[in-house]
Structures are given as structure tokens and as C-alpha cells.
Amino acid sequence: MDQATTDPKLMDSSSQRLDIAKLLGQFAPLVFLVVLIIIFAVATEGRFLNPLNLFNVLRQVSVTGMIAIGMTFVILTGGIDLSVGSLLALAGMAAAIAFKGTNQNTLSLEASDAVGLGVAGAVIIACLVGAFGGFLQGMVITRMGIPAFIVTLGGLTIWRGLTLILSNGGPISGFTADYRYLGQGLIPLPFLTEITQSRVPIGIPIPVILFLIFAVLAHVALRYTKYGRHVYAVGGNPEAARLSGLNVKNITLSVYIIVGFFAGLGGLVSSARFNSSEAVAGIGSELDVIAAVVIGGTSLFGGEGNVLGTVIGALLIGVLVNGLVMLNVSSYLQQIIIGLIIILAVAFDRFVKSRRRS
């Protein structure tokens, strides 16, 4: 028998390497997030840690984070969705039209009377439009066998074009307070306002609460349900999953519906936050969404990753952008830095996998 397989010292050394690689893969994003927070806190002389700024960071990442939750399901199956930014714009525009009862362009941010379906109707329409868009793309991917990259790349332009047609090329703005609450509202924390002597009320933004609720639900679904195990199985080895009796096509279809739903919800929250629905909303957001998922440790090759990592990845990008802005770093340079981080995250993922195999 080979000595390498029987020598306890060699076995312990190999096991130790595997454990270190596994730990690095699991906790590197969290460690990097903590390091970034410390660096920015020192560099800004504590301004970064102001509660008002921290809640602002959370509000900024909430829409990206919600869509990233859905993208986690997609990437876990080995897929990708490049259309989420355009679908966000389409759903946000549909919600605005449903709420106002008209697609007449409004450049003013002053609230006007709504004669449409109200807030509840707008929420339902936004989520249905997003989910239906995901369903259509999922059907083309699973039934026609066209790669997800190609289908969603086409969707990126199709949904944007439909948004322009739906809105006559202009924005729909000026929502009532109950609609804006979904994006601008917060649950006050008076004690923080008093401690910091802030002139602006400090509280937990409503988008952040939505983000955290869906993050918990998605985490439970992936970790503790049969459906979650099926998603991992399809991403790990689709052929083995099919041979074991799983309906790979339906599972794959479902993850595109899920990410579509979150894009729809994100479109609604985004329009409420900015008090305007525009055809240019969400341009480039697919980059941030995919970056959050990949940086959070979900493998682009499928089968590995989790929602908690995605939450950390979204926070990491938000902290990075906010810190760079506070340090007056050029927005052009910010895009370069985020792009480099994506490449490094994928490279690190491949490195960890190769260490495990060896």
C-alpha cells in the first residue's frame, strides 16, 4: 500500500490543508469586509462609522442585495442572468403606470393624485412583471436549449426596449407618500438620533428590512428544504441530478422566475426611493448583482455558495463604494476596482477548488 495513504502525519497534513482552504473559501469575504470597514473608519477619521452613514450604505445596497439573492439561486444551478437591470426598469415602469393609472410622462417630482390600482396593485404588478419575464427567459433556456448567457443578453435589450415603449421614452414621477414609503420610509430609532445629535432622523430603512426578510427566507429555503437541495444538486451535476429522478428543467426554470421576482420587487423599491420610474433605471446593475454573488463565495460553475455569502458580498460592494466616495476617489476608478475584485474573486474560487482536489 502507498505510504502516502497510510502515514498519519501525511494524512493530517493533507487534512489540515483542506480545512484551511475550506475556511478561506467560507470566511474570506467576511474578513475582507471587516478589514475594509476598519480602513475606511481610520481614513475618514470615524465619519464612515456614523450611524446615519451606515444606514445609508444599507439602503444603497438593499435593491442590489435583493436581486443578488435571486441571482444566487441562478448561479447555484450554473446559470446566469444578464437582464436583471432591464427587467428592474420594466417592472418599475409597470408599477408606476399601475399606481398612477396612466403612462403620461411627468417631469415634476411633485406628488399628483393617483387614480390607478394603489400601492398594493403596484406591488403585485411589479412582482408579476418581473416573475413573468424570468419565466419567459427560463422557458427559452430549458425548452429550446439556448445558453442562458445568450437568452438573458437578448433579454437585456428586449426588456429595455419594452420599457421605452411602455413609457413613451420619458419618466413617470411624482408619487404619493404611501408609495414613496416603500423606498424612502424608515423605522425611527430616536435613541441613535439623540446620541449622535443628528439633524436628520436615524432609523432602519424599509428597503433594508425587505432585504433582510427575503435574505432569511432564501437562506432557509436553500439550506433546510428539499427544493434547496435540488438546486444544489442541479448545479453540482445536472446529469447526475436527472438520473436520480430530479426534473432538472423545472428546477432551472424556477430559479429564473425567482430572480425575475426579485428584479420586479427591486424595480418597485427603486422607483419609490427616487420618486421616479425611468427607462434608464438599473443600467449596469447586473454587474453589481453578479459581483455581490461571486464575491460572496458562490461559484460561477454552480453547486457551491449560499445566501449569507451573497449578503456579505453586497455589503462589501456597498462599503467599498461608499468609502471610496467619502475619500473623493473618482467614480471611474471605482468601476475599475469593482471589476478587479470580481476577477480576483473568481480566481480565488478556482484556487480553493484546486487546493481541495489536491
> What are the backbone dihedrals phi and psi of residue 203, each rounded to the nearest 5 degrees, phi first?
-170, 180
318 vs 309: CA distance, rounded Å? 14
Average pLDDT along the chain: 86
Q: 28: pLDDT confidence band, cut at 50, 70 and 90?
A: confident
> How many domains is the chain partitioned into structurally?
1
CATH code for position 118 = 1.10.3470
- Host domain of residue 83: 8-357
pLDDT for residue 4 is more than 50: no
Of the ranges 166-170, 179-183, 298-302, the best mean pLDDT one: 179-183
User: In this structure, is residue 86 part of a structural domain?
Assistant: yes
Q: 356: pLDDT confidence band, cut at 50, 70 and 90?
A: low
User: In this structure, is residue 107 part of a structural domain?
Assistant: yes
pLDDT for residue 205 is more than 70: yes
Integer angstrom CA distances of residue 127 from 5, 90, 228, 273 = 55, 11, 22, 17
Q: 202: pLDDT confidence band, cut at 50, 70 and 90?
A: confident
User: In this structure, is residue 3 part of a structural domain?
Assistant: no
Beta bridge partners, 173, equal 276
pLDDT, tens digit, 9 for 90 and up, residues 229-264: 999 999 988 889 888 889 999 999 999 999 999 999
User: In this structure, is residue 343 part of a structural domain?
Assistant: yes
User: In this structure, is residue 191 part of a structural domain?
Assistant: yes
User: In this structure, is residue 1 part of a structural domain?
Assistant: no
User: In this structure, is residue 2 part of a structural domain?
Assistant: no
Higher pLDDT, 66 or 350: 66
Higher pLDDT, 38 or 112: 38
pLDDT for residue 216 is more than 70: yes
What average pLDDT does this structure show over 199-223? 92
Beta bridge partners, 203, equal 188
- Which residues, other chains included, contact 56 with Cβ-Cβ below 8 Å and sequence gap of 6+? 322
**Quick one: pLDDT at residue 10?**
46
pTM: 0.87
User: Nearest 5°: CA angle at 277, between 209 and 74?
Assistant: 55
Q: 32: pLDDT confidence band, cut at 50, 70 and 90?
A: confident
**Quick one: pLDDT at residue 261?**
97
Q: 8: pLDDT confidence band, cut at 50, 70 and 90?
A: low
What average pLDDT does this structure show over 80-93? 95
256 vs 233: CA distance, rounded Å? 16
User: In this structure, is residue 219 part of a structural domain?
Assistant: yes
pLDDT, tens digit, 9 for 90 and up, residues 123-166: 999 999 999 999 999 999 999 999 999 999 999 999 999 999 98
pLDDT for residue 177 is more than 70: yes
**Quick one: pLDDT at residue 29?**
79
**Quick one: pLDDT at residue 1?**
46
What average pLDDT does this structure show over 167-172? 86
Query: Percent of the chain, pLDDT > 70?
Result: 87
